[in-house]
Amino acid sequence: MKKKRQIEVFTAGCAVCEEAVQLVQRLACSNCEVTIHNVTKETKVLRDKVKRYGIKRLPSVVVDGKLASCCAGGGVDADTLRALGVGQSD
């Protein structure tokens, strides 16, 4: 069995972040495991992940341990997420 693509969405629990969550959930397929992290409920583990991934703005999406380029520069966008494999069941 193929390993599922790990997708982490980091949010602040706001309306803008919710739009990004909905986009990721719409794009995700059966090969995608989506986890939502609300950084307002910060824990040491979550702080460490934010630092390790280099997250500087919210919302941000990490796919298989890599911060999506759309999140490093601008905002979350469907084309970049698809290019990373989100929504592809292969």
Residues 6+ apart with CB under 8 A from 47: none
Q: What average pLDDT does this structure show over 19-24?
A: 96
CA 47 – CA 55 distance, rounded (Å): 10
Q: Give the pLDDT confidence score for residue 25 in this predicted structure.
A: 96
With tokens 């069941």, the residue in question is 89
Q: Give the pLDDT confidence score for residue 75 in this predicted structure.
A: 65
CATH no., domain 5-83 = 3.40.30.10
Cross-strand partners of 8: 35, 62
Q: Give the pLDDT confidence score for residue 10 in this predicted structure.
A: 96
Render pLDDT for 33-79 as a digit per residue (tens, 0 to 9): 999 999 998 788 999 999 999 898 999 999 999 999 888 876 677 88
Q: Give the pLDDT confidence score for residue 71 in this predicted structure.
A: 85
